[in-house]
Amino acid sequence: MGLIANAPGKLSNAIREHGAAVGELMSALSRRGIPCWIVGGAIRDSALGLPVHDVDIVTLTDPTRAVKSFCADSALGFVILDEGRKIARIITSAPPDIKTVDVAMAQGGALDADLTRRDFTINAVAAEPVGGGFEIYDPLGGLKDLQNKILRLASPGSMAEDPVRVLRAHRFLLSHQLEPEASMAQAIKASMAEMGRMPGERLLRELVVILGHPQSHMAFNRMAGDGTLFSLFPELAATRGVTQNRWHHLDVLGHTLETLRLMDAILSAPPEWMNPWINAMSPILSEPVSFGWPRASVLKLAALLHDIGKPSTKAVDDTGKATFHAHEKASAELAKQALTRLRAPNAVTDGVVTLIKNHLRPFIGIVDGGLSPKAASRFIRDMGFWLIPAMFHTLADSQATRGVMKTEERFALEIKVAGEIFTMWEKTLRVEGKQEPLLDGTELMKLFHLPQGKLIGSLLNEVAVARLAGEIHTKEEAMTFVEKLLSSEE
């Protein structure tokens, strides 16, 4: 009973660590005669000793005017999230460690009604400020369920009322290492189809939390098992049972899930051979490309969708060998359509499409025991900040491919090539911006009588690729190189 008995004290500590705003706000509301309780995640996570970033407060009357006045007096950020439901948000700290406090009028006009209408019992717990601490109110036994590692619906109709809770269930099963209560499977099955028709933004908010977990593949395996995955991404349903060629030991769906598992493994514990470059890689992988979306999460989403074009591109040649020509392009287009449907941020969609289109490039270009310096340098230049995610994708995809044609010698060769690409990439980090370009656009136009336009940018990129590959070193060599390029174009 330790978790339950210690919950009030742990919540008090968590609220103090969150900052003064929560306590001061609750005191201000009480002085105005507005009863208030902390509910949900802050109680759940503090009881488990997990950090608390967001606090939810419910009141029995409209709190928005009082909260707005408090924020004005305290110089805190304030926004109305939902005018109809009377939900206001206070932003108490700046990026990157943003902390928020959401204040809402209780659903149903009473605390018990509000708790019963929540998603799961572990989130249907309230805490009232009493003296210098809190008194826990847990009518549905949420803390006991948390202690027993059980995820249970707050009411029989909870999931049908809001089908996004299908995805939330998978999120909490993963993040808090819970097991579903017996009736959960039927509730998920009954609400699954409706989940796919919910606003994409809400589904993505749950999805990005799952992707951010170091063992995200466990949630996707479970979602594939109960069908949730195919309601979220119908494009993946067609990959079930699609057999591949002798390079592969799994069907397309199995390979996809194995790629994601290996992606989790590489991101969580990069292999030792990556040690020389890992300090330079880590900031790139954690860098956000859109709010709440680090590159690593975009990378895992790309891994999930990277082969969805295989069913439509499968063919069998005269020898009986299965082929999937241009499946990377078909997969990228389908992924773009899926993420557009879910209203993903443009930067996320662009990143996923870039990774999928290029996931074969590094290793498919291996010839005579390696990748040519020019091919490697072109790949580095083309990928830019997506180079490291692209290489992680390629490596996980390769490791997930273990058919009879995939020998240990081939794996060793791919690791060798990856190391060469990483070494060349790190070199670009050291020298780029520190050396003058061999030629600039103005010089190109003057020397070769060229008009301003896309051709100039293309030529400059070719010069940079050749320089990185070690083919040219001086301005004179660059001029000769451009002259040859233009002659070949003619």
The full 3-state SS of the chain, as one line of letters, equals CHHHHHHHHHHHHHHHHHCHHHHHHHHHHHHCCCCEEEECHHHHHHHCCCCCCEEEEEECCCCHHHHHHHHHHHCCEEEEEECCCCEEEEECCCCCCCCEEEEEECHHHCHHHHHHCCCEHHHCCEEEEECCEEEEECCCCHHHHHHCCEECECCCCHHHHCCCHHHHHHHHHHHCCCEECCCHHHHHHHHHHHHCCCCHHHHHHHHHHHHCCCCHHHHHHHHHHHCHHHHHCHHHHCCCCCCCCCCCCCCHHHHHHHHHHHHHHHHHCCCHHHHHHHHHHHHHHHCEEECCEEHHHHHHHHHHHCCCCHHHHCEECCCCCEECCCHHHHHHHHHHHHHHHCCCCHHHHHHHHHHHHCCCHHHHCCECCECCHHHHHHHHHHHHHHHHHHHHHHHHHHHCCCCCCCCHHHHHHHHHHHHHHHHHHHHHHHHCCCCCCCCCHHHHHHHHCCCCCHHHHHHHHHHHHHHHCCCCCCHHHHHHHHHHHHHHHC
Q: Per residue in 147-199, pLDDT tens?
A: 999 999 999 999 999 999 999 999 999 999 999 999 999 999 999 999 988 99
CA distance 379 to 61: 59
Q: How confident is the model at residue 83 (pLDDT cuts 50, 70, 90)?
A: confident
State mean pLDDT over 324-342.
Answer: 96
What's residue 430's pLDDT?
62
State mean pLDDT over 400-410.
Answer: 89
What's residue 444's pLDDT?
78
What's residue 96's pLDDT?
62
Residue 238 pLDDT exceeds 90: yes
Residue in the block written with tokens 């996320």: 348
Q: Per residue in 212-229, pLDDT tens?
A: 999 999 999 999 999 999
What's residue 427's pLDDT?
82
What's residue 7's pLDDT?
85
Q: Structure pTM?
A: 0.86
What's residue 236's pLDDT?
97
CA distance 87 to 64: 7
**Which of 6-10, 13-17, 214-218, 410-414 tops mean pLDDT?**
214-218
State mean pLDDT over 310-316.
Answer: 93
Q: Per residue in 359-375, pLDDT tens?
A: 999 998 887 788 888 88
State mean pLDDT over 228-239.
Answer: 96
What's residue 490's pLDDT?
47
What's residue 432's pLDDT?
57
Q: Per residue in 100-119, pLDDT tens?
A: 889 999 988 899 999 999 99
